[in-house]
Each structure stands twice: as C-alpha cells, then as structure tokens.
Amino acid sequence: MRALGAQVPAAAAGRTADPLARAIDYPLLVSLGWDPVTKTLAPDRQHPLLGYSICRVAGCESEAWDRSGLCGGCRSRFEAGGEASIEAFAALGARPKNRSRDRRCLVCQIPGFERPVGTNDLCLSCDGLRRRRRQDVAAYVSGDGGYPPAQPRPGLGLCTVAACGRLAARRETGLCGAHDGAWRVAGRPDLAAFRAGASPCLADRSGRVVLAGLGDDVIAEVLYGVQASVAEGRRVLTTNLRGVVGHLRRCGAANVADAVATAAPRTPVRSFLAFTADRAGLVRSDPGTEQEADVWDLRLWGAAGRLSFAGGAASPRYPGAEATPGHHPAVAEGGGQDVGGRGPQYHDGGAGAGRHRRRRAAF
C-alpha cells in the first residue's frame, strides 16, 4: 500500500507544512482527554462517543466491555472461582490491587533517590546487597554491628519503554520490573525495538490509550481520526483504539494508510485505520490539487461522491476504504451507473444512506 501523500500531485510537493497538522484541533482533543506531554488519551468515561462502562465489581473501576459487565480481570476470576452468580461475585468487591508499582524501596524513597520495590520491600539493588551481607531487612535499613544504616541510591529515571510511566527498576536495561520481566520472557530481543514497540503494562491500560512511542506523524493521524470520528458522531471505543495503537506499534508503519493492509479484515482496528486514512487523505487534498487529479473527491466542495474522468468506479486515492463496509458511498453502495470512458461520471451511490450508516458504525 502506498502512502496517501505519494498520490498528491507534484504541484503540492513543495509544501512543507502538512495540512493535516493544521486541521488538528488540539484544544478540542485536550478537552476530550488528550495529554500532549504523556501522549495519552484518557477520555471522560461519560463521554457519549469516547466513554465506557466500568466493571460492576465493587471497587474495581476498570473498563468493562464484556456483556456480563465485568472487566477482563474480574471475568477471569469469576470463571475460575465457584461463585454462583455474577451479582454475588460483584458484591464481594475487587481483590486488593497489587500496587507494588507505586511503592518505593524502604531506603530509596526521597526525591531524586527513588527506586521501586523489587523484593522484600527493597529495590533490587538494596535487596541484593542485603543478601550478600546476610542481614535481615531491619538490620539493612537501620544498620547493625557490622554495617551503618543503608543510604538511598540515585533513581534510575522512568522506564525506557516509550509507553510506560513507571520508575525504572534495572540499571542494565532501564526497564521497570514488569517490562524487564516481559523482555526476558520474550527472549531478550533488541532493546531499542522493544522500548519503542512494547505496550503499557496491563494494569496501566484501563481508561487510557497511550500513543507515546509512535512517530509524531502517526500520532497526528490517529488524533485526527479521533477528531473526525467525534465530528461525525462515530463511536470510538478505548479498547479498540488500544488495538489500533498496538497494531501500529507492531507493524511500524510510517503512516496510518500503510497500516491498513496489514490489519485483519473486518475488524474494528482495520475499520478505524481505513476511516482515518480516508479522512487524513481528504484533508491533505484541497480543491487546487484535486482539480489536477483524474478522480475528484466531491467532498472537497461539500458534496458527496466522486466525479471521475478516468471511467473507473473507485478512486485509487483511498485504497483502504474498500475494506470497510458502508465506508465510502461510491464503493460500499455500489452506486452510480458505471459506463467506462464516457467522460465525467458522478458516482453518487446513495451517499445519504452511506453517511447514516457511517454514523452508526462503532470502532
């Protein structure tokens, strides 16, 4: 699949500023929950298009997409346990969350000298030294006949996985405990690639979509896809958007259009990617460049459909659009009398119906 930009006529090639960047409404996105510093979208869960239900288990607050009203973790616990009903299970409340990621070493917990707990309430380095000295934890912390009280160690900064905000636990890798474990389990792959491609730790995912680690151009396109979805009344489920980001991380595409073909057919991930590629392609076109193309996209003039001088039914401009049923009127509705080679043809194809269908679609 080619980049959409590659099909912009040469006249536009001299432009340096991407029209997409100008079309992105950052204040709007911030109001929707976008944090440009952490590059994380954490929408209000009451938002009609971006919101979600939370788990019905008392005290759990994770996103719940299951019809049972349970989050994935509670659903697994319910299925493994012997509780007779979901109601009874939900009333029992959430299991105390493992908050070890938020806890600091008993010794290393002052600003600039903070390290996360590894084992025995100490960071990995402190606990390693304690074991070599054969001290118990209290003796290590407060000192004993053989050693003075332990001194805090300089922090290691944040985990070097782009999508992670936890404290780093290991100096050798610069990874937090969870990512360090995942990296080892994965067979110690190339660290640079792992840092760029790893998803946030499971417990850090609920309620947010972390785009950090993706290229700035890809982030801009995804944000524009969210913005266009909201403008058109399309639902964007956080769980699907995380799937989109995960796919983009894995395939490493330089833009959304390139990622469409490698997404599984007929999935919400592909649907969002195709939609976003289409809308990004549209905003990068303008009437000036569009008049030089063989197939005009009439949406640029506020109309629906396409005007073709090439005699073909579908423009090659939006190659991913075919993958989304009901996505583009001219393709999905099969409309327009397509008589090849007889001058301009208007591919209308019930654009109104197509538009309605788009509004109902959910990612």
Q: Applying CB under 5 A, which residues contact Zn ion? A: 55, 57, 60, 62, 71, 74, 105, 107-108, 115, 123, 126, 159, 161, 164, 166, 176, 179
Closest approach of Zn ion to the CB of residue 78, in Å? 9
Tokens of 256: 């959304």
Smaller CB separation from Zn ion, 166 or 249: 166
Q: Which is nearer to Zn ion, 5 or 72 (CB)?
A: 72
Give dist(CA 155, CA 227) in Å, integer: 38
Residues 6+ apart with CB under 8 A from 74: 55, 57, 60, 62, 89, 90, 94
CB of 73 to Zn ion, least distance (A): 6
Torsion angle of C-alpha atoms 327, 287, 302, 218, degrees rounded to 10: 40
Closer by beta carbon to Zn ion, 161 or else 273: 161
Shortest distance, position 229 Cβ to Zn ion, whole Å: 27
For tokens 């911030």, the residue is: 30
> What residue ranges in the chain does DSSP mark as E strands?
34-35, 40-41, 104-110, 113-116, 209-210, 295-297, 306-308, 345-347
Shortest Å distance, C-beta 188 to Zn ion = 15
Smallest separation, CB 243 to Zn ion (Å): 20
User: Any idea which residue has 């190339």 for tokens?
Assistant: 190
Taking the complex as a whole, the smallest distance from the CB of residue 148 to Zn ion amounts, in Å, to 15
Beta strands across the sheet bearing 209-210: 34-35, 40-41, 209-210
Nearer Cβ to Zn ion (123/331): 123
Residue 39 or 115 having the CB closest to Zn ion: 115
Contact by Cβ (8 Å): 160, 174: yes
Cβ nearer to Zn ion, comparing 60 with 331: 60
